[in-house]
Chains A and B, each alone.
Chain A
């Protein structure tokens, strides 16, 4: 395990989960692509950061106290300009445990979830599923023991009922299954590497297009020792 990885994990033990910007740094350390993001703590920093990420963008609350950001109005999609950005900053700063704003690039593509879970019988397993944030409704998922080879990743993706949606259903542009499978392989190595520390992870959604698979949001829950 790289020292940078260890540092992020150790820094998150107290709260029991990894803050999203830290989680995205962690994911990048394992070679996965994430959306362009900036973690800003002041209004000034936020407006400067927004310039780099570019409007329209996604703004998310960063707080150790708030894991489910949407539930408390801590996610605003499509922030257009500095005025709106300042309003959002003002609103977020009143939320519990406010520790800054995560400015996130808006991504297009098909939504996929990659997840992992420590299972008592089989150890660390990875999940791939269609539907991203709607995954709990459709439950169209495949699970395999981590780490997986690329062949297994492709086989798991092909076992999904909704795979047709990714392969260009009714004129929609197909996504790169090859790139997505490579992301699954990298993610599975990460999950296996972190098997003693992590209880479960969601990379959700992962936005897939014809040439890349990009992690737009990440939640990493640690084991309580």
Chain B
């Protein structure tokens, strides 16, 4: 199944635009793509006419140019015939936004379009979805541009069974400064599902990290998914909902009684290359960590460098729950490090992990301490807990720390309170490729993700 023209089309037709209702989803998709994205965009409505001063075609076959992909936003009953028209025109695939299929009790209608797809080797995404965002080519979500937050282009691609959750994930990741590459809402996943998209993303140079929201696999696709995940050389983070057992079923064996659907799911995932996370917060943290360190897999020895004892203690607790080890620092190293510290903190800094450099510290001491542990093999990952309340801390700290990551093959994760006022501190890290968590547990979640990754 070739999905290239669904993800990177040069030309698209939006079928089902309204001549009278500017808030019709098809009109939003048309306007957004026509004015803001690279794919050449054509509108189709059986009455023809004009919107936004642009010609609207009566059918796809009237469009004089070649069309790579069609976005269908017509009534469910019209979808089969419209697909056949697209196929006749030589279109390479479709996104079916329309609902009213299996999710609404019309499995028959869904089976009909699956049959059309198979007979003509014509892939489609959906139905009942918001389709694809793939900068700079297309964005078929029917959310107006002004309501979206797309921070910057990046290397994380998302697959979601729910369009609504996908929008949430886009916003949450963007707010954390994580750049996105592609996002795909698969809806009823009648033809293109998680398995097909893993195959595509595996070879997609613009995708370095895959994040996935799902409710469940359709029959037997779970096994294929695990096989595909095993072939990936990029991290895959997965969040599942629908974990609650659906009532008591009378079962005759112990195995069937214990191994409910979610128990099997989480156990099978645990043994695979995919990383299942328990909360949305952990999903965002994990994607953020991998986005910064897509090729990294580390041990579980963490060194925490803080400017506040409380933050260090909180991080140590999070490490413990996450199965990470606050590595013990040899006495000899403590002595060496102390001799490198400035007079401001030399006598008062606590050099047991988590280290507390105190509020009297500044850029130089933080840099020296971080550099010291970058060279130590017993530390796999450094977590910096930085507070802009410390007078000697400057906005240059991020760029200086980033230098160390470039020189050493060891990840650094930062915590800094996320408030607009401190944006310049945070940018110093994020623009230079160091992830910044907005909570202490969030920072530890990032270290946990890197340590859980199986290469």
Interface residues of A, Cβ cutoff 8 Å to B: 17, 67-68, 113, 115-117, 119-123, 125, 127, 129, 135-136, 139, 141-145, 152, 155-156, 159, 199-202, 204, 219, 221
Contacts and interface: CB of A to CB of B under 8 A. Distances in A.
Given A122-B223, A156-B271, A17 B255 contact: no
A67 B255 contact: no
B378 interface: no
A120 B221 CA distance: 9
Contacts of B263: 141, 143
A191 to B, nearest CB: 10
A-B interface, 4 closest residue pairs, ranked by CB to CB distance from nearest: A115-B255, A121-B222, A143-B267, A122-B222
B264 A119 contact: yes
Nearest to B272: A145
Contacts of A143: 259, 263-264, 267-268
B54 interface: no
Interface stretch (B29-37, B143-151, B181-189, B212-220): B212-220
A156 B261 CA distance: 18
Nearest to A121: B222
B256 interface: yes
5 contacts: A115-B255, A123-B220, A143-B259, A143-B267, A145-B223
Contact of B264 (A67, A68, A121, A201): A121
B252 A17 contact: yes
Nearest to A199: B256
B329 interface: no
Interface string B240-264: 0000000000011111111101011
A200 B260 CA distance: 12
Nearest to B269: A122
B142 interface: no
A139 B264 contact: no
Nearest to B227: A145
A121 B253 contact: no
Contact of A117 (B220, B221, B256): B256
Interface residues of B, number: 26
Interface of A, helix, strand, loop or mixed by DSSP: strand
Nearest to B266: A143
A117 B255 contact: yes
A113 B220 CA distance: 25
A129 B261 CA distance: 17
B313 interface: no
B220 A125 contact: no
Interface string B59-98: 0000000000000000000000000000000000000000
Contacts of A67: 252
A120 B220 CA distance: 6
Interface string B286-318: 000000000000000000000000000000000
B265 interface: yes
A145 B219 contact: no
B268 A144 contact: yes
Output the residue of A144, A152, A159, A204 with the most chain B CB within 10 A: A144
Given A122-B223, A200-B253, A219-B252, A145 B258 contact: no
B19 interface: no
B153 to A, nearest CB: 34
Nearest to B264: A119
Given A121-B222, A123-B220, A200-B251, A115 B259 contact: yes
B255 A202 contact: yes
B327 interface: no
Nearest to B217: A121
A122 B226 contact: yes
A138 to B, nearest CB: 10
Contacts of B261: 119-121
B254 A152 contact: no
Contacts of A152: 271
Given A143-B259, A145-B268, A219-B253, 20 more contacts: A113-B255, A115-B253, A115-B254, A115-B259, A120-B220, A121-B220, A121-B221, A122-B217, A122-B222, A122-B268, A125-B264, A136-B258, A141-B258, A144-B268, A152-B271, A199-B256, A200-B256, A201-B255, A221-B252, A221-B253
B164 to A, nearest CB: 23
A140 to B, nearest CB: 10
Contacts of A201: 253, 255
